[in-house]
Every structure is written in structure tokens, then in C-alpha cells.
């Protein structure tokens, strides 16, 4: 199986937010991720790095722009 783990980049390092992810899709407002037998969820972030060899996807939180 070739699932990946998704990590969210934080000030103090990376925080794992989901394992065994089978779907990663950029959508309006973030990135949709889904694991086996789970409903998809949208994380307010953008894809920073995908390392297929290590099965790791790093997300970077979206920065809210002020008017």
C-alpha cells in the first residue's frame, strides 16, 4: 500500500494530522485530505512538500490577508 502521512508545519516543527491518506486535493480554502473509510476534510493550508519516497506530505497553514 502507498498511503502517506500528512503533517502541518507549525512554529515548533511538524505536527502529524492524519495517517494512511489516500487522497490529497487542492480546493478553494485549503487542501482536502481523506483516509481509508473516512470522510474527507478540508485543512486551511497549502501543499508545501510532497516526498513520495518517505510517504510524507507537508502542509503550510494559509496566511489570512488583511484588507
How would residue 5 be classed by pLDDT, with cut points 50, 70 and 90?
A: very high
pTM of the model: 0.87
Percent of the chain beyond pLDDT 90? 85
Q: Where are the domains of the chain?
A: 4-61
pLDDT in tens, 28-51: 999 999 998 899 999 999 999 999
Using CB atoms within 10 Å of the CB of residue 9, give its burial: 0 to 12 exposed, 13 to 18 middle, 19+ buried: middle
Whether 32 contacts 47, CB under 8 Å: no
- Residue given cell 493550508 in the structure block: 45
Amino acid at each position: 500500500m502507498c498511503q502517506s502521512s500528512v503533517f502541518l508545519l507549525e512554529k515548533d516543527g511538524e505536527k502529524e494530522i492524519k495517517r494512511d491518506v489516500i487522497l490529497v486535493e487542492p480546493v478553494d480554502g485549503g487542501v482536502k485530505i481523506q483516509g481509508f473509510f473516512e470522510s474527507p476534510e478540508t485543512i486551511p493550508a497549502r501543499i508545501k512538500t510532497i516526498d513520495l519516497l518517505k510517504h510524507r506530505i507537508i502542509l503550510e497553514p494559509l496566511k489570512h490577508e488583511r484588507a
